Amino acid sequence: MSTSSKSRRIVIEPVTRVEGHGKVTILLDDNGEVEQARLHIVEFRGFERFIQGRPYWELPVAVQRLCGICPVSHHLCAAKAVDWIVGGELLTRTAEKMRRLMHYGQIFQSHALHFFHLSSPDLLFGFDSPVENRHVFGVAAAFPELAKQGILMRKYGQEVIRLTSGKKVHGTGAIPGGINKNLSLPERDFLLEDLDRMKEWGRSAVKIAKDYTLENLSDIAGFGTFPSNHLSIVRADGAMDLYHGGLRAIDADGNRIFDHVDSRKYLDVLAEGVRSWSYMKFPYIKSIGPQDGWYRVGPLSRINTCDFIDTPEAEECRREFMELGGGGPVHVTMAYHWARMIELLHAIEKIAELLDDKDLQGEDLVVEGEPRNEGIAIIEAPRGTLFHHYRVGDDDLVEMANLIVSTTSNNEPMNRAVESVAKEYLSGQEITEGLLNHVEVAIRAYDPCLSCATHALGQMPLTVRLVSADGDVIDERTRN
């Protein structure tokens, strides 16, 4: 932590246990009260330019360079967009189910990692617990079986990814118009070996998250919480669908702002604003405008927006979860964890469903059609709605790329959560580690991915900048 009495800014850096690098700046007023808090995210927008000039068929592999945390989501979203470019958007049954299996593997492993290894210290030990406990190794010491389950659930999801995409990281399974492999019977049997154990652990994880939420509701109901719009894709019949669907947005009371909007029309309903102090964009719902049109995405929003979940155990959990909202959407920020575990259970139920489907052993893998110059796709990544939009020239080279990642959509909500928590817990008080962690806990609930893109030994590219109230940079430091 660093402070500057001149500017009265308190800077918390880095935000630990969040991907990549973030910086929180809290501006105090003359009375020592919190005036404003901002989450700064170091984001590499250069990627959209990086892929310009490359042939479109490279996109599903190239975009995985964007993020080492959820490369599968970028892989699949780019493939879906390129499907339109090659006129192959109507996939064969085998191709679509293989992609879905890959996607549910990604959801399962990502949610398991976040819950067991990033957030469980907050939940198991409390926000004010000593810093030496508030990490995965503290969990490992106090709850060794839980920590091990988290590792093995993550490993299982990675095996699903490996067998559907060819590799655990940066696979090549999804190709324009389809996939390049099916799932062999030995591969299926390998995944079936641990399936029951994964389902059992998934049920346990939901129970841990539910019990935590309900037992601590009086403390966490207002923690970083505020009413908001929510956005996700849903299936044509209103079911939760993490791979494909139309855009649905609801307001804070649950009223639909728009529904079943085709992915290719996303710019009709959404726009991206900018702020002078952040490199990240601030998306908003066009019909409401930039001031109030911001929205949340991710597990909480998906549970709020869908009408039902099409797997029985997760649906039962969803019904119980929605009781929190008293007939409307649930806005409790800390309920993201419970929602995330419901999705984890849904993912393993879908994996079980797919492994029992003989279409996965089909041989019809790729379709082609009339080529187009534009492809737009949306997928529900673990952290929320992900948009990929490409235009290609007649020479097949990418001319334009626009990506909206889920952390960008949650940009405004995270800032609001930080400010809310800072005002409640940091104003006029000594800044202890426990209090600082309250801010971090609020950010972690969103599972933001602040991809650092490079991580080499000896280098941690974190730049801290102190800016006075009148805009002067009074200090800057890069941590190596």
Residues that bind other proteins (CB under 8 A): 14, 16-20, 44, 46-47, 50, 62, 65, 68-69, 71, 113, 117-118, 134-137, 140, 144, 147-148, 150-152, 154-155, 158, 167-170, 449, 453-461, 480
Nearer to other proteins, 88 or 105 (CB): 105
Shortest Å distance, C-beta 159 to other proteins: 9
Nearer to other proteins, 9 or 114 (CB): 114
**What's the rounded Cα separation, in Å, for the pair 209 and 303?**
15
Shortest Å distance, C-beta 454 to other proteins: 5
Check if the beta carbon of residue 183 is closer than 8 Å to that of residue 98.
yes
Taking CA atoms, 440 is separated from 67, 108, 448, in Å, by: 22, 24, 11
Tokens of 295: 């929205």
In this structure, the number of other CB atoms found within 10 A of the CB of residue 164 comes to: 29
Shortest Å distance, C-beta 81 to other proteins: 19
Shortest Å distance, C-beta 427 to other proteins: 27
**Whats the size of the chain, residue-wise?**
480
Nearer to other proteins, 85 or 118 (CB): 118
Nearer to other proteins, 171 or 293 (CB): 171
Shortest Å distance, C-beta 90 to other proteins: 31
User: What is the largest distance, in Å, between two alpha-carbon atoms of the chain?
Assistant: 70
Nearer to other proteins, 6 or 479 (CB): 479
Check if the beta carbon of residue 460 is closer than 8 Å to that of residue 477.
no
Nearer to other proteins, 184 or 459 (CB): 459
Nearest to 89 by CA among 364, 338, 311, 369: 369
**What's the rounded Cα separation, in Å, for the pair 353 and 220?**
35
**What's the rounded Cα separation, in Å, for the pair 270 and 290?**
10
The DSSP call for residue 324 is G
In this structure, the number of other CB atoms found within 10 A of the CB of residue 126 comes to: 16
Q: Which residue has the tokens 């893109």?
A: 453
**What's the rounded Cα separation, in Å, for the pair 147 and 139?**
6
Q: Phi and psi of 233, rounded to 5°?
A: -95, 150
**What's the rounded Cα separation, in Å, for the pair 16 and 118?**
9
Shortest Å distance, C-beta 152 to other proteins: 7
Nearest to 330 by CA among 316, 318, 312: 318
Shortest Å distance, C-beta 145 to other proteins: 9
Shortest Å distance, C-beta 62 to other proteins: 7
Nearer to other proteins, 135 or 203 (CB): 135
Shortest Å distance, C-beta 46 to other proteins: 6
Tokens of 217: 């509701």
Nearer to other proteins, 88 or 157 (CB): 157
Nearer to other proteins, 72 or 261 (CB): 72
Apex CA 103: angle with CA 173 and CA 246, to 5°? 115
**What's the rounded Cα separation, in Å, for the pair 422 and 435?**
9
